[in-house]
Amino acid sequence: MFGSISIRSRLAFSFSVLLCLLIAVAAVSLQRFEGLTATTQRVVDYEVRRVFLAQRANQHAQAAAIGLLNLLQTPDREKRVPLYAAMDRQLADSDRAVGDLEKTLLTPDTLADIMRVVNLRQRYGELFQETVEIIELGGPLSARVHFERQTQMALNTLLNETLALASGQLQAMQAELEQLSLAATNARRLVIALAVSALLLGGVLAWTVARSIVQPVREAVSVAQTIASGDYKKEVPHGGRDEIGALLRALTVMRDSIGSREERILRLAYVDSLTGLSNRTHFLERFAALPEGSTGAVVVLNIDRFAPINSALGHDVGDRLLREISVRLDRATEKTNVIARLWGDEFAFLLEGADRATAVAFVEQILSVLGAPTVLDGQRLDLGATLGFVFYPQNGTDAPTLLRRADLAMLVAKRRYERFACGSALDDEPAHEQLSLIGEMREALARREFVVHYQPKLNIAQNRICGAEALIRWQHPEKGLISPMRFIPFAEQTGFIREITPWLLGHVIGHAAQWQRTGMAVVASVNLSTRDLLNRDLVPEIRSMLAQSGLPADQLCLEITESALLDEPELALKHLNELSAHGLKLSIDDYGTGQASLAYVKTLPVNELKIDRAFIAEVDSTPKNAAIVRSTILLCRELGLSVVAEGAETSAELAWLTGSGCDVVQGYGIAKPMPLSEFLPWVSRFNRQV
């Protein structure tokens, strides 16, 4: 009914109708009550007055008749004189009453009755006067006869007529009053009927208008509640051209806008903006939504050598490369599994229901997909990746733990130069105690809790201690002496090693300088990590320390591992060449465990090789170890390098190394690492025995 009418128009129409009804009620009431008032006024002004005048005329006529009887009974003239005056007043009052009666608003019937009374009054007045004259002329007795014969009859007729007139007027007035009461009752009923009709019509209008407003508003509220609950698909009712329709249309626009914005927000919250894959947050939530008792695998992938590619070709090319990798990974991943980019060049996969065979097959498939060459801007890029994977619930029940363990497995695979590793086979996961030590390392450095231990190196030919490897230890005030294997790896991961190494170099160079001044010819060796070797301040710092201490450069040996040369080989080789040119000795540590040892021996400016303990152990009884060590000694002899056998522990191993022409031996078979206070006396005693 009101669909196309505005709310303002509806309300204006409804109030106008109600106002008209109220005006009608008021007008009818006013009209009726004005009529009642006029009728009442007429009754009061005419009907009541006529009754009153008729009764008054009758009363005065009776009073005059009584006075006339008194005259007839009063023989003494002097006593009759006052009675004449009283009768005249009564007759005059009766005449005035009749005269006033003639002046009232009369109907034809009432006029005829009054004229009869007037005529009878005139006749009675004439006879009354005649009786008075007879009294004065003939005496009361003669007048009595006349009064009884004529005057009294005229008086009785007059009285009867006036009484009849008064009675008639009284009846007429009562009839008028009854009509007036009936009219008042009818007026009251009409007013009540109009008022009830106005109320009913107002109620109907109010209900209709309210329903036309409330129902669509209720629907709008329902839609708003649905939108608030996150459901943006519920259809909004079509409104008319009124304000509610405008509200519903605005609600539709709001729903679409909120849905669009929330979709963008969800995309920002759960989608990686660069690759379009899921991000870490989405990965964590998907794992948390898995049913209880679910099984499967979590895989972490890291792109090999991405940092050099990013640095050489620029971040734009690096971003395009990541997008290309993401497309390949997404195609190779089944829709039932989850792929996410965690950060940088690291990705994660959630393989629901996967066992070890399925996980290995998936990892090999990913490696095969990434093995295909990629061409960007005419540049061919050969990609590689390292993966680590773990299983749930065996290796963890929450996503952060599984990701951390899979990431550790991936790092172990990188250190082993393997393409992937399973976290279930690893037992080198950092304990919570070790993780807590990471936060204490900076404070330990400030509190001077780090100490240096030295492990002697024996020159076999001279049977003298010719060198010592500096090994850092942490003298914790509560946990005691902490092995470097428990905190150095994490110091390297966090970059804190760049603060530890300068501290260690400073102490070792200072100790070695003091040895030189006391005549103890022992070369101190210090290990450099990957981060140290790539530190652009490394060479200037070492030169400054040597200059300040006065230690000859050839009395300091820097030990590096082959893995330290993998990330940025050009920068690492540049630093090594600068150090070698300055006169420092360089040593390849853990020789034989890498994949390109001979290439490094050929290109690096090194002075010695340290054969890893993995080959020295049981070298006297293991032909393969013996062959490797013997060939390495021969190689070094041809290249002019000295050989250090690391990890010799038994006398049989020492005897074999001596017989094979090894230059230097280091290990528990010679001595364990010792603090400086024990190392110096031990070296003095050992060398004095020679």
Question: Does residue 545 have a pLDDT over 50?
Answer: yes
- The 8-class DSSP code of residue 278 comes to B
- The pLDDT value recorded for residue 690 is 59
Phi and psi for 661 in degrees, rounded to 5? 85, 25
Segment 478-497 mean pLDDT = 80
Distance, CA of 652 to CA of 669 (rounded, Å): 10
Angle at 408 between CA 406 and CA 412, to 5 degrees: 115
How far is Cα 590 from Cα 610, in angstroms, rounded to an integer? 6
Task: Give the highest mean pLDDT range of 6-20, 518-532, 592-606.
Answer: 518-532
Taking residues 163-168, report their average pLDDT: 75
652 or 184, higher pLDDT: 652
Give me the pLDDT at residue 157, please: 82
Between CA 169 and CA 51 the distance in angstroms is 5
Tokens of 319: 């971003």
Report yes or no: 459 and 663 within 8 Å, Cβ to Cβ. yes
Question: What percent of the chain has a predicted confidence (pLDDT) above 70?
Answer: 83
Domain with CATH 3.20.20.450 in the chain: 443-689
The single-letter code of the amino acid at 161 is: E
Q: Are 169 and 104 in contact (CB under 8 A)?
A: no
- Does pLDDT of 471 surpass 50? yes
Q: What is the dihedral of CA 36, 37, 39, 42, to 10 degrees?
A: 170
Q: Per CATH, the architecture of 7-213 is what?
A: Up-down Bundle (1.20)
User: Is residue 80 a contact partner of residue 131, using CB atoms and an 8 Å limit?
Assistant: no
Q: How far is CA 685 from CA 565, 587, 617, 678, 680, in A?
A: 39, 27, 28, 11, 9
**Residue spans in the chain of domains classed CATH 3.30.70.270:** 280-425
What are the structure tokens assigned to 39, written together?
A: 């009728």
Q: Which of 612, 563, 554 is nearest to 586 (CA)?
A: 554
Q: Using an 8 Å Cβ cutoff, are 563 and 530 in contact? A: yes
557 with 576: CB under 8 angstroms?
A: no
Distances (CA, A) of 549 to 419, 514, 515, 556: 46, 9, 11, 12
Going by C-alpha positions, the residue among 342, 330, 409 that lies closest to residue 370 is: 330
Q: Which residue ranges does the chain devote to CATH 1.20.120.30?
A: 7-213
pLDDT in tens, 389-403: 999 999 888 999 899
CA–CA separation, 446 vs 146, rounded Å? 161
Query: 134-138, 249-253, 361-365: which has the highest mean pLDDT?
Result: 361-365
Phi, psi of 300 (to 5 degrees): -115, 130
pLDDT at 569 over 70: yes
Q: Round to whole Å and give the CA distance between 90 and 371.
A: 148
The HSE-up count of residue 352 (CA atoms within 13 Å, CB side) is: 16
**How far is the C-alpha of 421 from the C-alpha of 298, rounded, in Å?**
12
pLDDT-based confidence at residue 265 (cuts at 50, 70, 90):
low
How many other CB atoms are found less than 10 A from the CB of residue 486? 15
Which residue in the block uniquely carries the two structure tokens 């400054």? 544
Unique residue bearing structure tokens 């960007």: 376
pLDDT digits (tens, 9 = 90+) for 426-447: 654 454 555 566 668 888 888 8
First-to-last C-alpha distance (Å) of the chain: 120
Give the torsion sign (CA, 619, 622, 624, 627).
Answer: positive
Residue located via tokens 């049913």: 291
Q: Report how far residue 5's alpha carbon sits from residue 2's, in angstroms, rounded to the nearest whole number.
A: 5
For residue 664, pLDDT beyond 90:
yes
pLDDT of residue 596: 47
Q: Is 339 helix (H, G, I), strand (E, B) or coil?
A: strand
Q: What is the mean pLDDT of residues 135-142?
A: 76
Q: Which of 165-179, 253-267, 497-511 has the lowest mean pLDDT?
A: 253-267
pLDDT in tens, 488-514: 877 877 778 888 999 999 999 999 999
Pick the CATH number of 280-425 from 2.30.40.10, 3.30.70.270, 3.40.50.720, 3.90.1720.10: 3.30.70.270
Tally of CB atoms within 10 A around 378: 5
Confidence of residue 623 (pLDDT cuts 50, 70, 90): very high
Residue 242: pLDDT band (50, 70, 90) is low
Give the containing element (helix H, strand E) for 597.
helix 597-603
Quickly list DSSP for 44-93: IIIIHHHHHHHHHHHHHHHHHHHHHHHHHT---HHHHHHHHHHHHHHHHH
CB–CB of 604/575 below 8 Å?
no
pLDDT greater than 70 at residue 286: yes
pLDDT of residue 640: 92
Q: Residue 586: which of 595, 577, 599, 596 has the closest Cα?
A: 577
pLDDT on residue 429: 47
Angle between helices 432-446 and 497-518 (to 10 degrees): 50
The CATH number, out of the four listed (3.30.43.10, 3.20.20.450, 3.40.640.10, 3.40.50.300), of the domain defined by the range 443-689: 3.20.20.450
How many whole angstroms separate alpha carbon 77 and alpha carbon 135?
Answer: 10
DSSP 605: -
